[in-house]
Amino acid sequence: MPSFDIVSKVDAQLLDNAVNVTKKEITNRFDFKDSPVTLDLNRKDFILNIETGDDMKMRQLIDVLINRAHKQGIAPEAFDFSKESYPSGKVWKKEVSVRNGLKQEDAKKIVKIIKDSSIKVQAQINDDMVRVTGKKIDDLQEVIQLCRTSELGLPLQFENMRS
């Protein structure tokens, strides 16, 4: 039976490349000259720690980071900017987590969207992925299109297509 997996993961090497390119661009920009800027990636927990001189520079740094990550192939939805930046002494700090893997509630949303569409496929949750199986490959392609058009706020990848 044909099947595929729906996952949401970020390649650690691509993320590291995006952070390094962002650091290099920030050091060359005139508006960041002589201002304290720190951008650190915790590769184990997929957390970015950002420190800048003020809130405006924080927003500019985030824009550059999103732009560079997008050029590396990382979707902007992979970054969780829900935590607000806060002043700490003379610098502004922000902790940005990178979504890696599907959480249980996100997987349940995906399964619900697939079941509500009345496409003749089965969807089941396996750890941090959703496996979709069906009798026809056309049905699976409909599910992929459905997941791409639905606004989940997650970067989804579709892998292990088997017929």
| Tens-digit pLDDT profile for residues 59-102 | 999 999 999 999 999 999 999 988 888 888 889 999 999 988 89
Average pLDDT, the chain: 91
Q: Supply 98's token pair.
A: 């990178």
Same CATH fold, 12-98 and 3-8+101-162? Answer: yes
Q: Do 5 and 133 contact (CB within 8 A), yes or no?
A: no
**CATH number of 3-8+101-162, picked from 3.10.450.50, 3.40.50.2000, 3.30.70.860, 3.90.1200.10:** 3.30.70.860
Contact residues for 35 (Cβ-Cβ < 8 A; gap 6+): 52, 53, 54, 57
The yes-or-no verdict on residue 122 having pLDDT over 90 is: yes
Q: Supply 150's token pair.
A: 């639905």
* CA–CA distance, 121 with 132 (Å, rounded to integer): 7
pLDDT band at 108 (very low <50, low <70, confident <90, very high): very high
pLDDT band at 152 (very low <50, low <70, confident <90, very high): confident
Task: Give the C-alpha distances (Å, rounded to integers) separating 77 from 8, 31, 89.
Answer: 10, 27, 30
Bridge partners of 4, per DSSP, are 132
CATH topology of domain 12-98: Alpha-Beta Plaits (3.30.70)
pLDDT in the model for residue 97: 93
pTM of the prediction? 0.84
Domains in the chain: boundaries: 3-8+101-162, 12-98
Backbone angles phi, psi at 36, to 5 degrees: -70, 115
Percentage of the chain exceeding pLDDT 90:
71
Across 2-54, the runs of DSSP E, i.e. the strands, are: 3-7, 38-42, 47-52
